[in-house]
Amino acid sequence: MGCMRYLSEAHLRGFERYKYSSIDTSFLSVYVMHPFWNYCVKFVPKWLAPNVLTFVGFLMTVVNFILIAYYDWGFDAANSETGNSVPAWVWTVAAINILIYYNLDGMDGKQARRTGTSGPLGELFDHGLDSYSAALIPIYLFSLFGTHDLPPIRMFFVIWNVFLNFYLTHVEKYNTGVMFLPWGYDFTMWGVSGMLFVATVFGPEMYRFSIYGFTVANMFEFVLIGSGMVSSHPIIARNIYLSYKNKTGKMRPMWEMLRPFFAFVWLFVITVVWSFFSRNDVINQEPRILWILYGTIFSNIACRLIVAQMSDTRCDAFNVLMWPLAATVGVCCFPYYEKVFDTDLTSDTERWILYGLTIFSTLAHWHYGYGVVSEMCDHFHIRCFKVRKSSSQSGSDITQPLLQNNNKIKPLKSH
């Protein structure tokens, strides 16, 4: 990575001391999915690195995004009175890919223990890619509803609710030292896949009906946002409170405990300003690109929090990618633009600015991820996508207690 390094000596020393601790109490996860994954992973060759499973699963979410975007770039395919113009087979492929992602995401930790390659790199690699998938997966469902039933400004708040659910789990671990695996992830993955399969069998038009003005899109928003507010956020707050009360957590001072929220709130405020006050209504012009931009910067913030959480170091209060974002929003929302510059900001200009910023942020985030993984591989003398022969021959039993057997956190979760 040349002279640019993302991990300090404090980070690397913290990774050396890191021990994974988790609690999983989901009945579906413990009694159904884990036994299924324990069985399936026995058919995976021991020479196959667990990070390969993680990466292939992530690529399935990327394929889904590209495939659906090709047929419905502007989320308007469902708006037609004659029916959704996305081919039926696309929904089937998307549903299958979600299940592949979900199951590979459940098996990679077991493959790591099976091959004796468990460690901080695998967990960081897994969680980092999951933070990106958190932005991609809900976007699939927007194409089922269309912009008539789910306008882009409401999509914005759905996306941010997903970000919040994902982020809070890592804030919880940052302060407690324990990963409380949320209940809702398994149900959500099956739910998303089921909705896509139903769209194949019965047609996506079934998601466009309403009862007394209450649409399926309204129900989708209500369930997604309400489930987090009821079953996730209060439990996370309680777990953090109990860690202080019982002195079992990191015992950080109040402002240090709240520090992870600073970058998250800053990003939310900046994106709200652009979404509501764009001079050319960019949220309705290019919603898909906007979600990718927001999701990329969110993923970078989440990854840096995960690094701080695992290395037991201080997390960032502001993210460097928000500086160009804030400057762009300042230009695109400046109220006296025409008076000062004698010309107004055209719609095409703002869109090209959005494209450029998205490309820049994506490349910067990829560089960060590649740099962190490379630095960890160099430090621990390992390779990301290869199992050392000595490790594969001394793998541990995958059927260890379920309360400590999953080195993962997934997108779209709630307790």
Contact 131, 267 (CB under 8 A): no
Assess if residue 408 is contained within a domain.
Answer: no
Q: How many domains does the chain have?
A: 1
Question: Could you give the dihedral angle defined by the CA atoms of residues 71, 73, 75 and 76, in that order, rounded to the nearest 10 degrees?
Answer: -70
Beta bridge partners of 210: 215
What is the model's pLDDT at position 22? Answer: 86
- For 185, how many CA atoms within 13 A lie in the half-sphere containing its CB? 25
- Give which of 184, 267, 186 is closest to 229, Cα–Cα: 184
In a domain? residue 111: yes
Longest dimension (CA), the chain: 72
Q: Does residue 4 lie in a domain region?
A: no
- Taking the C-alpha atoms of residue 249 and residue 172, their distance in angstroms, rounded to an integer, is 10
pTM assigned to the model: 0.91
Give the residue carrying structure tokens 């927007």.
142
Look at residue 411 in the predicted model and tell me its pLDDT.
38
Residue range(s) defining the domain that contains residue 50? 14-403
In a domain, 79, yes or no: yes
Does any domain span residue 286? yes
Within 10 Å of residue 5's Cβ, how many Cβ atoms? 13
CA 300 from centre of chain = 10
Whole-number Cα distances in Å, 113 to 45, 46, 195, 258, 405: 13, 11, 33, 34, 9
Query: Does residue 7 sit within a domain?
Result: no
pLDDT per residue as tens, the chain (415 positions): 556 899 999 999 999 999 988 888 788 888 999 999 999 999 999 999 999 999 999 999 999 999 999 999 999 998 877 777 899 999 999 999 999 999 999 999 999 999 999 999 999 999 999 999 998 999 999 999 999 999 999 999 999 999 999 999 999 999 999 998 877 788 889 999 999 999 998 888 888 888 888 899 999 999 888 888 887 899 999 999 999 999 999 999 999 999 999 999 999 999 999 999 999 999 999 999 999 999 999 999 999 999 999 999 999 999 999 999 999 999 999 887 777 777 889 999 999 999 999 999 999 999 999 999 999 999 999 999 999 765 434 344 444 434 433 444 333 333 4
Question: How far apart (Å, rounded) are the C-alpha atoms in residues 17 and 312?
Answer: 9
> What is residue 120's three-state secondary structure?
helix
CB 267 within 8 Å of CB 322: yes
pLDDT the model gives residue 415? 40
Q: What is the DSSP string of 177-207?
A: S-EEE-SHHHHHHHHHHHHHHHHHHH-GGGG
Q: Among candidates 162, 151, 215, which has minimal Cα distance to 188?
A: 162
For residue 234, is it within any domain?
A: yes
Q: Return the pLDDT at 21.
A: 87
- Tens digits of per-residue pLDDT, 316-368? 999 999 999 999 999 999 887 777 777 889 999 999 999 999 999 999 999 99
- C-alpha–C-alpha distance, residues 261 and 264, integer Å: 5
CA distance 160 to 135: 9
Domain assignment present for residue 2? The answer is: no
